[in-house]
Amino acid sequence: MNDRSYKLKILAAFAVVYVVWGSTYLAIRIGVHDMRPGLLAGIRFLIAGLVIIGLAAGIGQKLPRVRMDWFLIVLMAILMIVIGNGVVTWAEQWVESNQTALLIASSAFWTAWFGTFGPKGHKLSLRAKVGLVAGFAGVALMLLPSGNYNAQYFWAQLAILISPIAWSAGTIISRSHDLATEPLMMAGWQMFIGGCVLTVIGVAAGELQTVSMTRDGVGALLYLTLFGSCLAYATFIWLIRHTTPDKLATIAYVNPAIATILGWWVLDEVLRGMQFFGMLIIIISVFIVSGSAHKRSRGFRA
């Protein structure tokens, strides 16, 4: 492959991850109007997990065999799928997709902070500290009451903040262990186990009695499963092996921008009052923190 075609392949891969992952918040927002959140998230990750496991096995990756790997797979499934994605799906019944994406972007702040703990912890640079303080200020602005404020909306916003905390904790835990299982195979099992748990939660909550299998709901489910979880994640794994951490870090601040544009274009979502300034502060802060963190790092793991 010549240099030009290789660069085009890299650009195409980034475009897939930017657009698909940036649009998943919109798809969730559409999906929860017709399908219940537990079943929407559960079926999505259950099917996606099976597809990813099959893909990993097809390229020669072996099933997890080490007990510690299985323990971490289950832990990551709970933190990153059940909490990290399940809570977001539940909260988007009330919170707009653009605000959800911006609040999720705070995962860069939590990851940087959690990364200071433990035997492999590192000190934050002054630049990173400034980015963290500014970033959390931006999150606070996003939580200020707006025109559609009510108590349920506010608690759903707070619930969304649990997601990046859980996701960041899972990221740091996985980085601190040397695993025998290949990343794609491990991700497939995380999705499958997390999907099973979310489906059980949905059934136990009585969602089967209230679910509505409309065209929009089923379309959102298929998009989230095939594109959001399968295509984009497999592309991301490929990018890890073919590009640099600083370029991968751009995903953290491009995705919220994509989500904001799509939410406005498709659902007429707008940021009100101080929320707009909160958006700008969060995106700039993610850029500062991600750039600072990846200058220190030689590796990157999803």
Q: Is residue 276 part of a domain?
A: yes
**What's the pLDDT at 243?**
81
Position with higher pLDDT, 113 vs 102: 102
**What's the pLDDT at 82?**
97
CB 192 within 8 A of CB 42: no
**What's the pLDDT at 57?**
96
**295 has a pLDDT exceeding 60:** no
pTM of the model: 0.86
Please measure the distance between the N-terminal and C-terminal CA atoms of the chain and give it in whole angstroms.
26
Rg (CA), the chain: 19
pLDDT in tens, 130-144: 888 888 888 888 877
CB 19 within 8 A of CB 257: no
pLDDT in tens, 266-294: 999 988 778 888 888 888 888 887 666 54
Output the average pLDDT for the chain: 86
In one letter, which amino acid is 223? Y
Q: Is residue 120 part of a domain?
A: yes
Domain hosting 118: range is 9-296
Rank 102-106, 155-159, 253-257, 276-280 by mean pLDDT and report only the highest: 155-159
Residue whose C-alpha is closest to residue 236's, from 23, 8, 14: 14
**What's the pLDDT at 297?**
42
Task: Take residue 6 and report the two structure tokens written for it.
Answer: 């290789």
**What's the pLDDT at 147?**
61
Q: Is residue 1 part of a domain?
A: no
Q: Is residue 302 part of a domain?
A: no
**Mean pLDDT, residues 38-54 taken together:** 97
**Mean pLDDT, residues 59-63 taken together:** 94
**What's the pLDDT at 88?**
96
In percent, the amount of the chain with pLDDT more than 70 equals 92
**Mean pLDDT, residues 149-153 taken together:** 79
pLDDT in tens, 231-246: 999 898 888 888 876 6
Residue whose C-alpha is closest to residue 104's, from 172, 17, 163, 189: 163
Q: Based on the structure, what is the number of domains in the chain?
A: 1
Q: Is residue 155 part of a domain?
A: yes
